[in-house]
Amino acid sequence: DAGVTQSPTHLIKTRGQQVTLRCSPKSGHDTVSWYQQALGQGPQFIFQYYEEEERQRGNFPDRFSGHQFPNYSSELNVNALLLGDSALYLCASSLKGTGANVLTFGAGSRLTVL
């Protein structure tokens, strides 16, 4: 049973560029959440997708956007990259309506902005 898969694992961009990160949820899961983890910090919630709609959003600017596809996979897009966007981006999936709604995390995509 495949867990959460994220791609790419590492990437380097320059300021002002745009980036797209991808996530395939665990088999059987229908909800995808994205978190940003800066070095030495805990993950910060970006947003969450269910039924192809953004359901909840953290305190992140509109430069951060996302999408969920009919197969439940998801993309995170960041426009006009800043140095401060350098971080590990974590995707987590879950099954809505299972009570505890326990999240399963992927290994993350490490973004470096130069």
Q: Which residues bind other proteins (CB under 8 A)?
A: 4, 31, 33, 35, 40-45, 48, 50, 55-56, 58, 88, 90, 92, 94, 96, 100-108, 110
Q: How far is CA 75 from CA 41, 54, 92, in A?
A: 23, 12, 12
CB closer to other proteins, 21 vs 90: 90
8 Å CB contact between 7 and 22 = yes
CB closer to other proteins, 3 vs 13: 3
Residue 33: both structure tokens together = 């959440």
| Shortest separation between residue 96's beta carbon and other proteins, angstroms | 8
CB closer to other proteins, 43 vs 81: 43
CA distance 11 to 14: 10
